[in-house]
Amino acid sequence: MQLQDILFSQGFGTRRVSAGLVQQGWVSVMDASGQARPVLDSTERFEPQGLSFEVQGVPWQYAEKAYLMLHKPAGTECSQKPSAWPSIYTLLPAPLRQRPSKSAVQGVQAIGRLDQDTTGLLLLSDDGQFIHRMSSPKKHVPKVYEVSTKHPLDPDQVSRLLAGVVLEDDPKPVRAAAAELVAEHHLRLTLLEGKYHQVKRMLAAVGNRVEALHRSQIGALRLPADLAPGQWRWLSESDLSALKAA
């Protein structure tokens, strides 16, 4: 595969822009010993799988499809065109936002959305099948939320959430897959679907109010303790296995 095509596939710009990066000496490819070798011929061919390279000194590993996790901070929107708050996509490097796609939208896409004031684990990818598997209500991928409430929680409220509550403008009862009373104002809630403002509306239906909301887990994948708000990382093979097992 030509180097300019590899750069294009990773989101470094059009083929013309990618060729220009190479011709200006801004691209180096790692050899078998791990040393960076400058490449000036944009048509030089490489095996993309496992290829490591640098663009303007920034290291990059070839990935046919991108699978990421992001620790979403408060005060951000899961939208390419945010209305009032900064977009989560500004937390990602430009190549991930510019990866070519067959759809109308370029780059990785958030799998589901979290409200602007909700924090925690968010997945992103440019793999349509993976996005569908993780977001489709029919797949029943469990998502775990840590809920801080305004009023003290009691066992009756927990029981009602497990039995099912009726939300405004939605006649079908919605129930939690699991609910654990961690502390007087702390509920751990597991859901298998993702309706609009679902956690907040469910708590309101049992006479309480959400003060803070944090997603700590998707499937068997937990938000790593060392991933700070605003930080992202590639999903490992074990991370992907944990998600697919869900």
Within this chain, domains 3-61 and 67-138+221-245 share the same CATH topology: no
- Rounded CA gap, 71 and 121, in Å? 5
The whole-angstrom separation of Cα 142 and Cα 137 is 10
| Residue 67 confidence (pLDDT) | 97
CATH number of 3-61: 3.10.290.10
Our answer to whether residue 115 is catalytic in this structure is yes
Count of other CB atoms within 10 angstroms of residue 200: 18
- What CATH number does the domain located at 142-218 have? 3.30.70.1560
pLDDT tens digits, 17-43: 999 999 999 999 998 888 999 999 999
**What mean pLDDT is reported for the chain?**
94
pLDDT one-digit tens code per residue, 34-89: 899 999 999 999 999 999 999 999 999 999 999 999 999 999 999 999 999 999 99
Check residue 242 and give its pLDDT. Answer: 86
φ, ψ at 75 (rounded to 5°): 75, 30
Of 115, 156, 226, 239, the active-site residue reads: 115
Contacts of 94 (CB under 8 A, 6+ apart): 11
- Residue 246 pLDDT grade (very low, low, confident, very high; cuts 50, 70, 90): low
Domain ranges of the chain: 3-61, 67-138+221-245, 142-218
Q: Which of 57, 29, 163, 190 is nearest to 199 (CA)?
A: 190
Q: Distance between CA atoms of 37 and 30, rounded to whole angstroms? A: 6
H-state helical runs in the chain: 3-10, 15-23, 94-98, 128-135, 155-163, 198-205, 237-245
Residue 38: alpha-carbon gap to chain centroid = 33
CA gap 218, 68 in Å, rounded? 13
Spatial contact of 6 and 48, defined as CB atoms under 8 Å apart: yes
User: Is a pLDDT exceeding 70 seen at residue 2?
Assistant: yes
234-243 residue pLDDT tens: 999 999 988 9
Q: Helix 198-205 and helix 155-163: axis angle, to 10°?
A: 120
CATH number assigned to the domain covering 67-138+221-245 = 3.30.70.580
Asked whether the beta carbons of 45 and 1 are under 8 A apart, the reply is: yes
Structure tokens at 13: 């710009």
Task: Using a cut of 0.85, tell me whether the model's pTM lies above it.
Answer: yes
For residues 136-141, average pLDDT: 86
